[in-house]
Structure 1
Amino acid sequence: MALLEVRHLKKTYTNRFGTNQVEALKDVTFSMEEGEYTAVMGESGSGKTTLLNLLASFDRPTSGDIILNGLPFRKIQDKDLAVYRRKNLGFVFQDFNLLDTLSVRDNIFLPLVLAGEKTEEMKKRLSPLVKVLRISDLLDKFPYEISGGQKQRTAIARALITEPKLILADEPTGALDSRASYELLHMFEQINQAGQTILMVTHSTTAASHAKRVLFIKDGTVYHQIYRGDKSRDEMFRKISETLTVMASGGKEYA
């Protein structure tokens, strides 16, 4: 059974007067196995951000199903969604979403604190994470005292400390320079190799070329997908670039 199943997902937005409708997603279907690393790409307005919001359970679809680890989102009551997110989903945002009033350590601990986890368990989970992410010496600093790359590594630690089923990353390299981006993508690969399932929305061809699969969204549907297989990163980069060029030129869907 797939870890994540997305079945005929549709999302239509209606203005408050009910006179205008925008179909952000028309019919999106795909699945992810445990341990996959998938990037989602598409032009602005293609529906990829809407898809991410639905997968994050921040919004409800108009129709269709999202099933994570065998549980359909539609069966989760609104009052239980926050707890469900904390237990099953980890989030990495472009703008980090760290609290400047909390230390790096306390930012990482925050989802466990909200879940009522014991201090000893929090410390136990923290130790291996900060070593892998190379932020052991930053734990007593505050977000305004560290670099963008260090902030993003802190955000990754916060996402991983809950031991989520799925990491959702929204443009994780968008606010980073080239060196910090490279380090982050290398860490994502290491985290994925350790078994973590990752879905990343990105505009960056370089970022997407690190994934094992790339889904292309156009006009609210899945336009095409590329599997890495035995391709090198350079070959993956070229394939992604070619697909984006065809999409931008209004080319027909791939067979």
Structure 2
Amino acid sequence: MELLEVRHLKKTYTNRFGTNQVQALRDVSFTIEEGEFTAVMGESGSGKTTLLNLLASFDRPTGGEIILNGLSFQNIREKDLASYRRKNLGFVFQDFNLLDTLSVKDNIFLPLVLAGAKPEEMKKRVMPLAKVLRIDDLMEKFPYEISGGQKQRTAIARALITEPRLVLADEPTGALDSRASNELLNMFEQINRAGQTILMVTHSTKAASHAGRVLFIKDGIVYHQIYRGDKSREEMFKSISETLTVMASGGKTYA
């Protein structure tokens, strides 16, 4: 079942004097099926961060359309966007974005608190997630008392607690060492196998090799894509590396 459809997405930034324009996205189209784990890769300035911000509804496109679960973002009123994000999207950031004044448990609860959920519902949801992510013994600690890997697992729990249709992850392994990165990526795969749809922006070939599909963005368009299919992780890693080499050398391939 198709969950996300991106149609001819364009984004142009203009300075306040209107004298200079930068076209971050020229014409991006793709779909994501429910239950997919998709990675988005590209060099700095390729437009992948702009794409993520548009999918997160943090920004509006200059042209084109984003449709999530049958609803076009164009039809969501500005005042309703925050509520829409809480109900449908989960976010995992490179720098965790946890509040040091709140415990691990309260950081995870935060989206439900903002949504007005009842305490009984919050308690019912949190422990199964905490056990899967192996942070159930950290619930009363504060972010400054735990490791980077534990912080990111807390951020994942916060993203999943609302049972979102789509999780958007922005360089989720960027602030982690190799061991914590491996643990996180294995957990992403586990969460995805349980049915969660994930879209991850990353510079890391290793991180992208855990995904079921990789979209490559270059010069504001979808330059190429790779499906994992029956490839091993090592074969996927090699395919991604070869594509990045072609992109860097200015060679051509096809989406």
Q: Shorter-normalised TM-score: what interval?
A: over 0.9
Match of 1:99 in 2: 99
Please give the secondary structure, in 2, of the residue aligned with 1:134.
Answer: coil
Match of 1:42 in 2: 42
Please give the secondary structure, in 2, of the residue aligned with 1:3.
Answer: strand
Match of 2:209 in 1: 209
Match of 1:190 in 2: 190
Give 1:206 deviation, angstroms: 0.1
Please give the secondary structure, in 2, of the residue aligned with 1:65.
Answer: strand
Q: CA RMSD in A?
A: 0.6
Match of 1:249 in 2: 249
CA distance in 1, matches of 2:58, 2:204: 24
Match of 1:181 in 2: 181
Aligned residues: 255
Give 1:253 deviation, angstroms: 2.9
TM-score under structure 2 length normalisation: 0.99
Give 1:252 deviation, angstroms: 1.6
Match of 2:59 in 1: 59
Give 1:254 deviation, angstroms: 2.7
- Give identity over the alignment, percent: 86
Match of 1:110 in 2: 110
Match of 2:68 in 1: 68
Output the amino acid matched with 1:87: K
Give 1:2 deviation, angstroms: 1.1
Q: Which runs of 5+ in 1 are unaligned?
A: none
CA distance in 2, matches of 1:201, 1:127: 28
- 1:120 matched to 2:120: yes
CA distance in 1, matches of 2:252, 2:3: 31
CA distance in 2, matches of 1:136, 1:194: 19
Please give the secondary structure, in 1, of the residue aligned with 2:242.
Answer: helix
CA distance in 2, matches of 1:252, 1:244: 11
CA distance in 2, matches of 1:36, 1:148: 26
CA distance in 1, matches of 2:65, 2:80: 18
Output the amino acid matched with 1:70: G
Cα deviation 1:205-239 (Å, max 9, x = unaligned): 00000000000000000000000000000000000
Give 1:23 deviation, angstroms: 0.3
Output the amino acid matched with 2:145: E
Cα deviation 1:47-70 (Å, max 9, x = unaligned): 000000000000000010000000
Output the amino acid matched with 2:98: L
Q: Which runs of 4+ in 1 moved over 2 A?
A: none
Match of 1:165 in 2: 165
Match of 1:11 in 2: 11
Q: Which runs of 5+ in 2 are unaligned?
A: none
CA distance in 2, matches of 1:138, 1:127: 11
CA distance in 2, matches of 1:62, 1:75: 15
TM-score under structure 1 length normalisation: 0.99
